[in-house]
Structure formats: C-alpha cells, structure tokens
Structure 1
C-alpha cells in the first residue's frame, strides 16, 4: 500500500492552484492594490449575489482534490476504498465551505501559516459524524493542509498589502509550495514498508544528531539542542598552490549551502572548525519533515551519516550500501527492508555524509578513495559531502571522482559574538559576563587568534566564567587551564556522587594521556586499538606507583573520568578532540627531548601545532635549539614556523630572535596573496613591524601588504591599516572596504571606512552594521549577507545615499515595492547562485536597473 502521508504532497501545485483559485472571486485590474487587510469571507466565490461558484461546485473541487490524490497513488495502491473516499470528499467540501464563514482576514491568515490556518478551517467541522477510518482521516488532514498552503500562497500573490507586510511569512509559504513540487518529483511510489521505515529512521537521525556537546556547561560538558547551538559557518575555495596568485578576497557561501550548487563536495577544515557539526545539521535538516528551511536540494532526501572512524575496521572491507546502518551502529538497522538503501540511492535521494577522511590510517586512505569512487559511479545523482582536516590528503584528492573542493573558513567577528551570547544564555550566565568576554577577545590579539572556531570559543567561555573574568593570554596557559577544569575540577565534583572506580590524581591522568597522545602523533593515527591503549597504560603503571592496579582498571578510570578520551566504536579509542591530543603529545615530546623528531616532521601540516606547542613547553635552551634548527633549515615553511614560534617560547635570547626575524625578512613583502596569508599566520603582530608603509611600495605590492595586515586581524593590524586609508589604489581601497567584518565594527568604521570613497561595496550582516554605516552619513554600495528584514533596510539605510544594493538569493524578499524608499537607487543585484563563485566563476546574478524616481514605472509603495 502507498504511503498515505505523502499523498497530499503528490498533488502538484499545477493541479491544486487552479482548483484553489476557483474558490475565490476573480479580481479586476488593481483589485490587489490595497492598503488594508480584507476579510477572507468577502473574497469567496460561492457566497453573495454575484457568486461565480455554487456550494455544489465546492463539493466538485473537493472531489477533484481527492481524485487527483488517489490517482497519484497508482492503481491498486489507494489508501482508502471508494466509499471512504466519498466521505473524505464530503468532509473536505464542508471544511472548505468554512472560507465563507470565518472572520479571519487575509493578512492574519498568512501570519497563521498553513498548519494553524488548516486548524482554523476545520475547527467548525467535527469529523466524528463522518465515521472516517485511520486512512481516511489522514487523507483528509493531508489534503486540507495542501489546500490551505495554496490558499495562503494565493492570498500573498493577490494582495500587495499582504505581500509587503507579511514578507517573511509570504516567503515561507512560497518555499513550502516549492517543496510540494520538489517532493512530487523526488518521492517515488514507495511501499508502505519503505515509507514506514523512513519515518522511524528519520526520528532516529533527529534524536541521534539533534544535540551538540558544549564545553564548560555543568562542570565539563552538556548536550545542547542543535537548532539552538548551530552557528552558520562559511566555506570558500582552498588556497592556490604556492606559485599561484589569486585575488585578495575569495568568495564565500554559507556552509549549509555547499550542496546547493554541487552534488559532490570535499570539505576541508581545521580541528574544531565545525565539520562534524555541519554534518549533523545537514543530516537533521534532510531528515526533518519541515520544508521551509530554504534548502530545496534537501527536501525528500534521506541522510546517511558515515563517520570514517567507525566504519573502517582493520582487515575489513568498507561497507556496501545495505550495510551502512549496521556499520554505524544504528539501532533500527535490523528493521531495514531488504534493498531499501539501494532503492533510495537508485532514486537519487541519498545525502551521504562521509565524516573524517583524516581519521583513517594513511595506508587505508587509498582504499577509502576507491570505495567512494565505486559508490559514486554505481549510484550517480546523489548528494555527497566528504570532510577532512586540511593536511590529511593531497589537493584535489577526489577531483577525478567529480568532487568540488572547499574549505571551512574561520569564524568571523559576528559568528564569535553569536556563539558567546548563546553560550552564556544556555549557561544562565549574566549577559554582562558574555559582553566582558567579547571585549577581551576583541582587544587581546592572542585571544582574538584563539577564538576562531566553536571548540575554542566554548573553552574560552567556560574558563572566563570559571575564573570570574580572568583569562590566560597564550595557548599553553589556555590549554593548561582547560585541562585543569576538565580533569581536576570535574573529577573532584563527580567524586561526591560517584565513589566507584579508581581515583586518579590530576598529574597521573596527564602523564597517561600524554603517552597515548604522543603514540598517536608519532604513528600518524587519529585513533588506536583498545588493546594498544591498554598496553601503553600497563607499561606506565610501575613508574606511576600504580602497579597494584590492572591496566584495564586504570584505563577505564581514565576513560570515565578524564572527559578527554572516548571509544567511538567497539575496541577503538581516540581523543575527544585533536587539539588536546596535540597539546599533550607536545608536552611529552619535550619531556623526552624528541626535538630532532619534531624538526624532521615540521614540514607536515598535522605536526605544525605540535611543534609550536612544544616550543611553549620547552625550557629556554631547548626552545633555542628548536628555533635554530627550524630557522637554519633553508626551508621556507620551517622558517615561517620558527617566526610563529617566537610567540610561543617563554624566553628567547636577543641574538636568536634577530636570527629568526632575519629569516622572516626574506618573505617581506609577500609575493602574492597566498604568501600574504601564510606570512600573517606565521608572524602575527611581529610581521606588522616589518611590512613597508604606503609610500614605500607600488600599488600591487601595497594591496598584498594590506591583505597581510587584514589576515593578522588584531588591534595592532587595525592601527597599521589606518596608514593606508588614503592610498589612491582602487585595489587597496576595495580591500580595506571588504575587511570591515574582520575588525571591531564601530572603530573600523570611524578610523578606516569613513576615509574611503563611498563607491566600494561593503558587506552588512546585522542591524548594528547598518547603524554604523548610517553614522557615517550612509554608503553607496551595500551588499546584504544573510537574512534581513525589509523594515531594517528601509529604516536604517540612508536612502538618499544608496545607489547599488546587492542581496543574497538564499534570503529573498518577494516583490520590489519597498525599493521605492530609495530615490537614488540605480541597480539591485540578486546573487542567484553564489556557489558558482567558489568554482572560480562569477556568480549568476539577476541585475535590475531601477528607473529614476520620476519615472512612472518605478516601483511604488
């Protein structure tokens, strides 16, 4: 039998819209140009003296809706018999007739939304007298919801007043109508068994991936609802090779939109950047039965979350589609109908989320790539997102398989502020505490550099609250404080209620954890066999005076109490996050004086943080040895790493510092924009003192110098950029205008933007951005990023100054009438496919040339 829940969706808008329109009087010219709401009962066509449709016609319309829904089910798959279908028609006709009785106005109805409006219509129609069975009742409810959706869409299109005043609601209704048609195209005639299992599987996805672990809440960690915790990230193209030179600004797109423009995406991101969070969000969104999220490519799709750490087993083959659910330990795997996954993939309805290629041992990555290639070829047309840390595999690792490569960008100023404020609300902390932390992050360069991803922001929030406003000012102290919080304080507080297990002092936990971490780093692994972890712990016990305990006991105590280890799959062990692994491994590397090993691996991305943190742990003579080896290597990467290491070493002799800085001078000024970013990352504030001023270089070099300072992103960098605000180069001016989101909004606006020509495009993403521009007297070219409200744009943009407006297509506003608020507006550009820009092409756009204010064709309010 067919899936009854999908029947309403199976009636396309091309079929429903003409039927719905027959319920209302046909408007003459200009009938929708009103300035007030209209009662719906005054619009229906089956009441009054001039009615064009009779009550009998309403029954015919209801009957046609039922007939088309049953026809969509296919012969022999009707969910109700002919007799019950006739009863459904009668109940639906009586409910639609309520349009002539209710006192709801069109403006109010759109605000209710289709679900509540359907309840409003059905409130006066008790179903008990109709004697409908379960299938008939469900069919009635689905068809009423579909009809209500199209009625509201008709009202938004009919009335300019409703479209203008209920902008957000009108957009949601329009997206839902689009979703109905998308579902019609994508949902095959599923069996009841498949449909029922998909419902149960979707519930599992929502429960399994609907929360995030947030650091520092309730003495360690707490689960946070995904819809509250999720922070929209951004993705961009990966950097060019070292010899390449691309422009100073790469176009970005919201990370949740990466599958909108490409079916297959390989996404890189550093530790803690939010890769797994994005995977969870996409899975939950695809599994949800809510379709107004603005992501039509996920409507009707089935997500499969495939963490590589869980599905790769030593000596075992990677799973075939039918084994996906069992491989990840899905509890409903045993209920899966035979061949279900293959049917989903053949219908091109799969969203395959392969998380963590970097967590596969190096000798298994070639097999993983073959597995991906064979699946993509066997089941074309599905959506694929594969994630990895940047250094795990070479560039364009999956290019031959048709994957587009993108990189998760660090959190911007607004993203950090949003995260910090949400964290403090979730922790029931005073708002002033969160604002105090934001002030410290914005004015302290080291904290500013640390607050680049959700993991580090969560640690900063927890430590700031735990220490009543005091925060460490360097990475080593920050990690040390975080370890104390997670190991010592958490253990002490849990001891009150959990006397079981072996108590482990803080120092013992650290010693054991760093041995496990250093083994993983040296072996290029992200996780180890449980048996290997037990051997490492067992060998350490005699030296730690724990020989009386078994390795199993100590390991379990460490696993349960530290909060830093986990078992992601049976017989597998890893660290909760790579950040802690690198910190603890670097600490042991220094204790064991493995300095040559560190230098020998310093050219590898995955060892970079380990080397820097080793410099933070090293004593002066040890740090000097490491810096000398790096600076004298003749390798540009190691030279820049030595420069970056100056910020980490506690004490560096002046001669050694000069030696490292001299090596850095060879990279100043940078030769291209990629080199500029690399120089900023390595040198930080140090490099600002080596960069030439605005009058010392040509315009092209000046643009690269500015980009270096922008990439540093500190308060000192802002001071440096002030010197370039009067530079005549258009490239420099554009770069300065584009850099606004990287710095303190108000200060940058006063000290840099205010001195630039108003013609360059600036991005705004909040009401505060609009206010800052208004304080400058307005701006000519504004690009609105993300969601927006028309009343904010019309109320805060200086109307006489605005000449060019660019809008994101992901957050459209219906109609153009509101543009009449800007008499000087000449063009409106809507980016219809911003993701194409990530592939190196200009984004598709719709450009509207706005007539002059005195033109009769100019949009009127």
Structure 2
C-alpha cells in the first residue's frame, strides 16, 4: 500500500493563516521603503512588541503537524503517533530561529525556500537531534513547505522593495503552485528513505548479530552465537604523547563501546584477535536496532548511536577489485550488500549530509601501505563534504604511524588486553554457550568442571596467562581445554598446532561426521594446501582473494599434494577447504579470507620457510604487516636456518641509515629469537649485544622511541635486577607509554624498587590501565611511603579503599570532599594534596586525625563570560577552619596566593609558600 504524502495536505488555505501569525502586521502609515528590512525585525515572537509567545508558536506548529499527519485515506503514518509532539516542538525551535537570522527579506526571497530552511537549521542545528529518522525527515519537509509560504508572505507585504516585487512575486507564485501540485501527486523522498532504512536496519541487525565461538565441538552445536550472548565488553585507553601532559579527562580507560561518548571521530588500534571487528559488529547492531530506551537514557554514553545509520566498511572489501575507494553512493555495492540496488537514488548522500551516518571502517592494516595513504585522503574528502557524522577506523597498532589521523581530529584509542576479570568473564560466557547446546546432564557437569579448572589454570600459570590476552586466544584456549579433556599447550606455536589439529581433523572425526562432499583429507595435506594459500595472501598484501584466484593457487599446488589431487580438481578441493577446514570463510559472494589473521600469518610463515624464502622474509622484516610472519618463521625454521635468518635481519639493521629503522630491525630480530626452538649461543649473544645498546633506554627520548615500536619493545624490556635507578625509571616509563595489561607483569617487578622516582611514576601511571588490574598487580605491592598516589575518579578511590589506603594522596579536580570522606580510610593518611577550590571550608579534614601536611594547589576558576582566563582574579583561600585540625603541621600554597584566616591557626602550623614550579611531588 502506497503511503500518503503528509505535506500534500498542507494547501495554501491551511498554511497561510499560520504563517501570518509569525510576523507583525503592517501598522497605520506603513508605506513603501527603498531598502530591504531584516527578517528579525518582522517576527511577532521577539522584541518589545511581540504578540506571539513561545507557547503560542508551539501550538501553531502542533496544528501544522497534526494537519500533515492526520489520516486521509489508506496508507501509513509518516511517524509513530507518539512522535507528533516531538516533531512539533523541534519545528517550533527551528522557526524561532527566524529571530536570529542576519538576513534581509529581499535576500531571503532571492535565496529561495530551500536556502532559507538551511539557514534556519544552521542556527538551531540540534533541534532534530533526538528525533527518529522518519520524524526528522517530516520536520525538514514541513520546514521547507513553511519557507515557501514565508517568502510568499514577504512579497505580499506593502513594505517589500517595489523593484523586486513583480519579478520575485511571480517566481514564488509559480513555485507555490508547483509545490501544491507536486505534493499532491509525487510520493515524498523522506517516506521512501524511511521505508528503505527500515529494511536496511533489519538487514544489518541480522547480518552482524552473530559471532563465531571458536572450537565449540559438541554434538549438533551451532558454529555461531548471538552477539547479545557472546559479546564481551573490552577496555580501551587513550594514546598520549607524554605521561607528563595527558589529555585532561582522558587518562583513564573507558569501555570500548563508549568510544563516541564526547567525540565523533576515533582511530581504534588493537592487536590481532583483540576484538576490533567484534566491536564494529556491536556498534552496527546497536545503531540498527535503535533501542531508544537504552540509547537516550539520561547522559547515556550510548546516546551517540541514536538515529544513526550504520555503514560497515571492511577495507579489504572496498579494495577487493582495485585500489580505488568508493564514493558514498557505492558503499553498499562495494561490500556486496543485497540491498545495494534497492536504495533510493541519493539516499547515502542525504543520510551523510544530515550528519546521521555511523561509518565503521574496519582493518586499515589489511591493505598495502600505498592504499593506506590513499585511504587517508579518501577519508579527508569524505569528512570535509559530510561533517557531523560518527567515524570509526580500526587498525593493528603499528600499521599506521602515531597521530595518523590527527589532522582530521581523530581521537586515538587502543584496545587493552583483556583484564583478569575479562578473561574470567570470557571463560564463563564460553562455557555457558557450550552448556546451552549440551544434550545431557553429564556433558553439562563436565563443562562445569572444565570451567572451574581452566579458570584456576589461567590464574596460576604465567605462560598460559600471557597467551590469554584477547578474545581469539581465549576462545582457542577454551576450545582446546575442552577438546583435550583439560590438557593445554604452553607455547604460542604449540597452541596454533593444537588448534589446527582440532579444526582440521579431530573436530569432524570425533563427531563421527562423514565428509559431505566425498573428499577425505588428513591433517597434513590440508595444511600443505592452506599454507600455500595463506602465503599468497601475504605476498599479495591482501586479506581477501577472489574465488578464481584462490582456485588457481590450489591448482598450482595440487600436483605436489597427490593425495588431494586424486580426490578432485582444484575447484572441488578448494570448496572442501572452504566448507570443512574451519579456517576459511566467505565474507562476501565470490571472495574468501581466513577466519583470523593469526592463522594466515602462522601458515604463511610455515610456507615461506619450507619454500626457502628466507631472504624475502629478511627484506620484509621492517614491514608491520609481516611482524607475526617473522616471529612464526623463526619458530618454524631449522636451527641453522633460524640462526642465519635472525643474523641477516640484525645485519640489515646495522646497514640502515635510519636510526628508527635500525632500532626496529634489531628489536624484531630479538623478539623473533624468543620463538626459536633451538639457537646457537653465539647467535643469541650477537643479537643481545645489539639490543643492549637500545634496552634499557638511556633518555626519555629513547623511551618514547621504543614505546612507538610497541609490543616488540615491551617483550624485551628487562626487570630491575642489575639496572641503575635511572635505567629503572626509564624502563618503567617505556612500559607505561606502551600501556596495556601486557605491561603489568613487567611493572609489577618494579613495585618494590627503592628509588622514589620509580615508585612515584608507578603510583601515578594507573590511569593508563584497567583500574582494578593495575591496583592488584602494581599498587598493592608498592613499599615506598614517600610517594603520592594520584586519584582522578571515584572508581579509583573505591579501589584504593579495598587496598591499604596510602599515607600520601593527591586528588584531581572533579572529586569532592564528600568523596574523600566516604572512600578514604582515615587511619593512615598523613599527606593530602587537593585543589584549593575543592571546598569553601576545611572542617571535614578533622576526619583524618593523622593528617599533618596539606597542599592546596591553585584553584581553576571558570573564565567569566567575555573575559580571558588571566582576567579572572585568583580566589582567596580561607584557612581559618584548619584550626579545627589538631594534628596539622604544614600547609603548602603557591606564592602570591591570597589567604585569609591565618591568624586563627595555631603556632604549630606553618604556612609554606612555594613557587608553582617547585610544587612537586
């Protein structure tokens, strides 16, 4: 049934009387003038002579909306009944902006109704912010209709400039007639858009609402699970250039799904398997479902997803056919969406132009470097043309340089490794999913036992804990633990070997599942074929390949794998691997990729070593896309081969003219060395000799350089034994700058270091980490009483209360005296550092009987309207209430801080003035 057109019901007889009430009527004596007049002087709801109140204006727009949506025969309402009032209120706010327009009547008529509507929307851009897509479109349609009549009204006023009257009056009359006629005959664009968006949202919610839980191999179990049941919230931290100058309010980690709370452009970095793509799916489904009860709950961090249209754009799909990136009208066709041909012409442009898009660009690292730079320029063009949308770009950490999108004002976030509680939660969710498809009480009891034993193993075995750092590896560990009845491998190579064995052979064999296509291959020939396929992926710099290309690779490999060649041609064998290996998937019709990049890199490295391409690996050692390939190649290579491989990488670093590249190659060689099964002592000595010049760092600049290299450097940072105090400080600084839970085991080794600067850095660095994990791993073991612990949130205060409250505490702006009284244990606190603006009086400090030293940092008053910050007088600190504190001995303030009430302090209290630069820890 075709929907009716709401604005077709708004003929001149309906709108003209309402529009006239918006403007003052010409009084007696009004005559012709020889110049235009400002619109703001004509409205009837502004100024001293206003005749129309805001409430009256709202009543007018309510009437307009009611007449536009009232039933007029068969058809659908343009908006749900409950949204009529919201549309009317938004339209009233927009029309009220007529009083703020810096525009004359002649100018407005010359611009036309659409330009006038745009000008009004620009004055009140948030009027439609909380409307649904259909309601916002209705608002815009009614606004443009009203603008036609407003301009027609201008041309009929006696004071309108005579020389423009005839020309513009005739043009508007014609426009008015055409508008009335077209609105009666032509379906509205916004109705078509709304209907398509409903179909599109349902498609996105269905397509992206399933996740793969690796390795669940119980009888008749599904291979995928609903996102709602399987999604695990992860933490993300902000990228900073220096620990000494964090972005205010952004030094604590946040939940990754809250990335758009207070920002609209985010570059999200994460290691392989860290959950980047899963987060993209979650955001797309959240926006598509439009659960307004959740999205709009007061101040919800999820509010930015309200009324957004998600576009999930994997870079590998956008560049599948060539390196050219699509224009918005080809977004759906390039990702091969089944709805591509159904979208109304210009729909994507209208969505993005209205600032309603949620653009999720996944996997910058899965393209060659030349395409990444082209992608950045493509993004720049899109953001310039379509401001106001939400943009998320994901990448592996080292694939793009720091601040890669800083010019486009992207905030940089890094997915943190899973915390201990996150790993526990994942293990519980995984086993719950398995229990839900178990067919017997015995299976469920076994799963209960496996869950308990695996949780204990992860907490007690460091090697296993180092592997369980992201959702992919946790899923594999859970699957292997269940599959092997409680036995787990302890090294990365062994873990992948066991996972491949489970996926390629044991899974189907132990389920008594016959091959549906008649092809029966053991594990070894499957690996031979898959590793050759993986190597071609890597060599081509692609994360996806077309079917035809993949089949050609299999055809070239089959002669060397006769047991596979005997069972079918390349097409048959390829199809078998796609359907039954568990390692390949079909992200879009006609293309394939590996279920995860880690398997691709592991198998590709095995192929490179077996084919003798060691020299090629050395040439690619400095490329971020090859990092895991290089490490796994060292694990696969024979001892002599591995020795020559690692030395060649190190020597290539020796000959580099770039200090950064030299450092990078030396560290890559050292990191890969840790995966070698067997290596001659002299080779280890040579590589360690090179890294000894780099690690530990000797200056803060070197610490920042090492941190820029990322996880490779973190693996090589030493513990405190044998280091000087300065080396310890710089090593800790490097680990803090790299961040993430992977740094916690190293930082915990320094928690009992006697140097005060080391302990001070550790006590202030927890804003970069998961609060609880850092407190338990590092803060709980600090032994130095002469350092201040810095707290910036109630969560940190609560965590400190659960530990032993430190004797020294520095409190950031934003916390209150009530927070301190509620959360800080009074029995140990001796030194307190708070903003002087925290409290008007200090009687509450008497609740801390051992407090003897108080530092009052300069207040941070808000700037007065119209005045720069320096123009605001520094507020006076009244110290008289400190007399109520019997143990207080020292009060530190900055020089020139105005004070009052010092005469009430006891003679035992010393007020010490220090310079701002001397107000140190």
TM category, shorter: 0.5 to 0.7
1:820-831 equivalence runs, <5 A: none
Q: Does 1:189 align with 2:150?
A: no
CA distance in 2, matches of 1:679, 1:369: 21
1:140–1:644 distance in 2 versus 1, CA, 3 Å: closer
CA distance in 2, matches of 1:533, 1:601: 23
CA distance in 2, matches of 1:603, 1:478: 26
CA distance in 2, matches of 1:473, 1:702: 27
Q: Does 1:642 align with 2:669?
A: yes
1:667–1:797 distance in 2 versus 1, CA, 3 Å: same
CA distance in 1, matches of 2:339, 2:591: 23
1:466–1:238 distance in 2 versus 1, CA, 3 Å: same
Partner of 2:291: 289
Partner of 2:234: 233
Partner of 1:658: 685
Q: Does 1:547 align with 2:547?
A: no
1:675–1:425 distance in 2 versus 1, CA, 3 Å: farther
CA deviation string 1:187-236 (max 9, x = no partner) = 52344333333233222222121222221223597323323333333444
Local SS of the residue matching 1:761:
strand
How many angstroms does 1:539 deviate by?
A: 1.7
Q: Does 1:339 align with 2:346?
A: yes
How many angstroms does 1:510 deviate by?
A: 0.3
How many angstroms does 1:183 deviate by?
A: 1.0
Local SS of the residue matching 1:593:
coil
| Greater shift in the superposed pair: 287-296 or 770-779 | 770-779
1:135-174 equivalence runs, <5 A: 139=81
1:630-709 equivalence runs, <5 A: 630-633=649-652, 634=654, 635-670=662-697, 671-672=699-700, 673-675=703-705, 677=707, 681-682=711-712, 687-688=717-718, 692-693=722-723, 696-697=725-726, 701=730, 703-704=732-733, 707=736
1:268–1:766 distance in 2 versus 1, CA, 3 Å: same
CA distance in 2, matches of 1:510, 1:455: 20
Counterpart among 382, 385, 396 of residue 389 in structure 1 = 396
1:307–1:701 distance in 2 versus 1, CA, 3 Å: closer
Q: Does 1:752 align with 2:743?
A: no
1:726–1:763 distance in 2 versus 1, CA, 3 Å: farther
Local SS of the residue matching 2:551:
helix
1:750–1:602 distance in 2 versus 1, CA, 3 Å: closer
Partner of 2:183: none
1:745–1:764 distance in 2 versus 1, CA, 3 Å: farther
Structure 1 runs not aligned, ≥5 long: 5-63, 85-131, 148-178, 785-790, 807-819, 830-848, 856-861
Local SS of the residue matching 2:607:
helix
* RMSD of Structure 2 on Structure 1 (CA): 5.0
Q: Does 1:354 align with 2:361?
A: yes
CA distance in 2, matches of 1:229, 1:499: 29
Local SS of the residue matching 2:213:
strand
Partner of 2:487: 470
Counterpart among 694, 714, 717 of residue 746 in structure 2 = 717
1:362–1:534 distance in 2 versus 1, CA, 3 Å: farther
Q: Does 1:774 align with 2:802?
A: yes
Counterpart among 608, 624, 627 of residue 643 in structure 2 = 624
Matched-pair contact (CA < 8 Å) for 2:65–2:84? no
Local SS of the residue matching 2:381:
helix
1:229–1:180 distance in 2 versus 1, CA, 3 Å: farther
Q: Which has the larger radius of gyration?
A: 2
1:520–1:668 distance in 2 versus 1, CA, 3 Å: same
1:309-324 equivalence runs, <5 A: 309-315=316-322, 318-324=325-331
CA deviation string 1:559-588 (max 9, x = no partner) = 101111122223322211110011001111
Matched-pair contact (CA < 8 Å) for 2:69–2:77? no
How many angstroms does 1:401 deviate by?
A: 4.6
How many angstroms does 1:341 deviate by?
A: 2.2
Counterpart among 452, 462, 465 of residue 448 in structure 1 = 465
Q: Does 1:613 align with 2:632?
A: yes
CA deviation string 1:420-476 (max 9, x = no partner) = 332232223655644543443344443333222211121122222222332211110
How many angstroms does 1:73 deviate by?
A: 6.3
1:546-625 equivalence runs, <5 A: 546-548=564-566, 549-625=568-644
Local SS of the residue matching 1:224:
strand
Partner of 1:218: 217
CA distance in 2, matches of 1:706, 1:391: 16
CA distance in 2, matches of 1:214, 1:828: 53
Matched-pair contact (CA < 8 Å) for 1:273–1:454? yes
How many angstroms does 1:506 deviate by?
A: 0.9
CA distance in 2, matches of 1:258, 1:139: 33
Partner of 2:332: 325
Matched-pair contact (CA < 8 Å) for 2:763–2:779? no
CA distance in 2, matches of 1:374, 1:469: 54
Partner of 1:258: 259
Equivalences, count: 681
Local SS of the residue matching 1:470:
coil
How many angstroms does 1:482 deviate by?
A: 0.8
CA distance in 2, matches of 1:617, 1:437: 28
Q: Does 1:299 align with 2:321?
A: no
1:218–1:783 distance in 2 versus 1, CA, 3 Å: farther
How many angstroms does 1:517 deviate by?
A: 0.9
1:775-854 equivalence runs, <5 A: 775-777=803-805, 798=825
Partner of 1:457: 474
How many angstroms does 1:661 deviate by?
A: 2.0
**Higher RCO (CA-CA < 8 Å; seq separation 6+):** 1
Counterpart among 526, 537, 542 of residue 509 in structure 1 = 526
| Greater shift in the superposed pair: 190-199 or 569-578 | 190-199
Matched-pair contact (CA < 8 Å) for 2:317–2:544? no
Matched-pair contact (CA < 8 Å) for 1:773–1:779? no
Partner of 2:895: none
Matched-pair contact (CA < 8 Å) for 1:749–1:772? no
CA deviation string 1:21-49 (max 9, x = no partner) = xxxxxxxxxxxxxxxxxxxxxxxxxxxxx
1:755–1:303 distance in 2 versus 1, CA, 3 Å: same
CA distance in 2, matches of 1:362, 1:741: 32
Matched-pair contact (CA < 8 Å) for 1:445–1:715? no
1:29-68 equivalence runs, <5 A: none
Partner of 2:198: 199
Local SS of the residue matching 1:652:
coil
CA distance in 2, matches of 1:828, 1:432: 55
1:67–1:501 distance in 2 versus 1, CA, 3 Å: farther
